């Protein structure tokens, strides 16, 4: 028996992603719009995406002054579900990230990244220390970083 309700369309709008800022660091945001070139005709399950599709990302306001609140990116520039992961990236110093340390997700800051050794040196602040710790932990990290860099 049909209830007459339509299923919601699968929309990428509202998806949380990370996008590069002008300083080379990645910042979190939300996809606000998808712009497909007008001359593209192919239909893939009602989703018209091409390599030239641009995504408008609205950056989270809590990240300080990025110099802009929204920007357009290609698919290869974004990190998140349906886009690339952090595995192929070279992170820059002072990039904020989240890692699992002693069974808890904690905020960290990248000190150095050596892609050849697949090693990231991260400075973490112990949980419960709201103020800057005089000697934060600095650990080499070989696991997987959280897909949502901050």
The H-or-E segment that residue 110 falls in is strand 104-114
User: Average pLDDT of the chain?
Assistant: 75
Give the whole-number percent of the chain exceeding pLDDT 90: 11
Q: What is the DSSP letter of 55?
A: E
Give the pLDDT confidence score for residue 2 in this predicted structure: 47
Give the pLDDT confidence score for residue 84 in this predicted structure: 87
Global pTM value: 0.67
Binned at pLDDT 50, 70 and 90, residue 106 comes out as confident
Model confidence over 9-45: pLDDT tens digits? 567 888 999 898 888 888 889 999 998 877 655 555 5
- From the list 1, 36, 29, the residue with the least C-alpha distance to 15 is 29
Model confidence over 115-131: pLDDT tens digits? 888 888 888 876 665 55
- CA 58 → CA 14, 15, 29, 71, 115, distances in Å? 10, 11, 5, 7, 29
Give the pLDDT confidence score for residue 37 in this predicted structure: 78
């Amino acid at each position: 028996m049909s209830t007459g309700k339509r299923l919601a369309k699968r929309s990428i709008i509202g998806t949380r992603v990370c996008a590069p800022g002008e300083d080379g660091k990645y910042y979190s945001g939300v996809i606000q719009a998808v712009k497909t070139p007008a001359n593209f005709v192919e239909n893939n399950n009602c989703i018209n995406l091409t390599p030239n599709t641009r995504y408008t990302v609205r950056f989270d306001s809590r990240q300080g002054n990025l110099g802009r609140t929204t920007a357009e990116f290609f698919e290869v520039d974004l990190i998140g579900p349906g886009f690339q992961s952090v595995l192929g990236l070279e992170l820059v110093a002072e990039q904020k990230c989240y890692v699992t340390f002693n069974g808890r997700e904690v905020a960290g800051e990248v000190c150095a990244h050596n892609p050849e050794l697949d090693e990231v040196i991260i400075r973490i602040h112990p949980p419960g220390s709201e103020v800057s710790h005089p000697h934060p932990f600095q650990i080499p990290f070989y696991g997987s970083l959280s897909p949502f860099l901050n």
